[in-house]
């Protein structure tokens, strides 16, 4: 890591700690070695810098819309993060190749299947690019969910700190079971991945994936040391306690 990266990362992390109460304890569950597709929700501008700075020393990068580089300040920051420019609304083969190269090098590739910020924190339907990356790379997927950041602007105007919670799930693999993968299959695979992510969130944030009873795991394979993240959702009391604590602060 360069001196510039060290200084910028430390400054962002310190500022985040001043403005937010970041519950990042579960990031210790992120594997310290090997390729990994980190599947996350996307609420607002806080997600990327918080995730990037709190995952170090693991090397992590992800996709960002190419329009981001129109802003000189953001271009500097995202170049520092090693972000991959992505042309949305089309199959960007250059970005896909870059993402696969990141995984081949044994690093973390962060993917937000929603494709854009939700703003309100409730999950939107995922796009199928994440399934294609998982199938081509063979890398494990790890769901990482955040909540609380949607209140940042309101809290800032009231001079209040924002509770930003990070929940890390269990890893799994995608397997087409030898079938020829169609567009419909990729979307089903993506929905199965998104349900694993939704299960980490309090019910109010699950959005398009609120009905966990509709979740399938046809194309998911869990290592012997792992388990389905849907089992976590049975502990509804823990999720409700988190939500109530957030509303009270």
Residue-level pLDDT at 6: 87
Tell me if residue 91 falls in helix, strand or coil.
coil
Question: In the predicted model, is pLDDT for residue 209 greater than 90?
Answer: yes
In the chain, domain spans: 28-248
CATH architecture of the domain formed by 28-248:
3-Layer(aba) Sandwich (3.40)
Categorize the per-residue pLDDT at 212 as very low, low, confident or very high, splitting at 50, 70 and 90: very high
CA 62 centroid distance within chain: 10
pLDDT, averaged across the chain: 90
Residue 120's contacts (CB-CB under 8 Å, 6 or more residues apart) are 43, 150
Rg (CA), the chain: 18
In contact, 207 and 123? CB cutoff 8 Å: yes
- pLDDT tens-digit series, residues 61-96: 999 889 999 999 889 999 988 999 999 878 789 999
Residue-level pLDDT at 234: 64
Q: Could you identify the residue written with the tokens 């810098």?
A: 49
Which structure tokens are listed for 116? 């854009």
In contact, 148 and 98? CB cutoff 8 Å: no
- pLDDT tens-digit series, residues 10-21: 999 999 999 999
DSSP letters, 9-22, are HHHHHHHHHHHEEE
What percent of the chain is modeled with pLDDT above 90? 71
Residue-level pLDDT at 2: 83
What percent of the chain is modeled with pLDDT above 70? 93
Which structure tokens are listed for 136? 């081509």
Residue 146 and residue 162: Cα distance in Å, rounded?
Answer: 12
- Alpha helices, H only, the chain: 3-19, 47-55, 72-81, 93-104, 129-137, 152-157, 183-198, 236-248
- pLDDT tens-digit series, residues 215-243: 999 999 999 989 999 987 765 444 444 44
Tell the burial category of 21 from Cβ atoms under 10 Å away from its Cβ (0-12, 13-18, 19+): middle
């Amino acid at each position: 890591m360069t001196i510039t990266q060290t200084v910028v990362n430390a400054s962002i992390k310190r500022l985040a700690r001043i403005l937010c109460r970041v519950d990042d304890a579960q990031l210790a569950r992120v594997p310290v070695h090997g390729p990994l597709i980190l599947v996350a929700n996307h609420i607002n501008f806080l997600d990327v810098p918080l995730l990037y700075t709190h995952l170090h020393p693991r090397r992590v990068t992800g996709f960002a819309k190419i329009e981001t580089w129109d802003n000189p300040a953001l271009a500097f920051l995202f170049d520092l993060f090693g972000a991959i420019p992505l042309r949305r609304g089309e199959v960007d083969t250059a970005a896909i190749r870059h993402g696969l190269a990141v995984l081949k090098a044994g690093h973390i590739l962060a993917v937000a299947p929603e494709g854009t910020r939700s703003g309100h924190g409730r999950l939107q339907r995922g796009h199928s690019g994440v399934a294609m990356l998982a199938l081509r790379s063979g890398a494990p997927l790890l769901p990482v969910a955040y909540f609380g950041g949607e209140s940042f602007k309101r809290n800032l105007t009231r001079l209040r700190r924002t509770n930003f919670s990070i929940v890390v799930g269990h890893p799994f693999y995608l397997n087409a079971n030898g079938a020829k993968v169609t567009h419909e299959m990729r979307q089903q695979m993506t929905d199965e991945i998104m349900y694993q992510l939704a299960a980490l969130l309090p019910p109010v944030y699950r959005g398009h994936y609120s009905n966990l009873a509709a979740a399938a795991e046809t194309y998911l394979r869990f290592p012997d040391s792992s388990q389905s993240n849907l089992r976590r959702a049975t502990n509804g009391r823990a999720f409700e306690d988190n939500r109530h604590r957030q509303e009270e602060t």
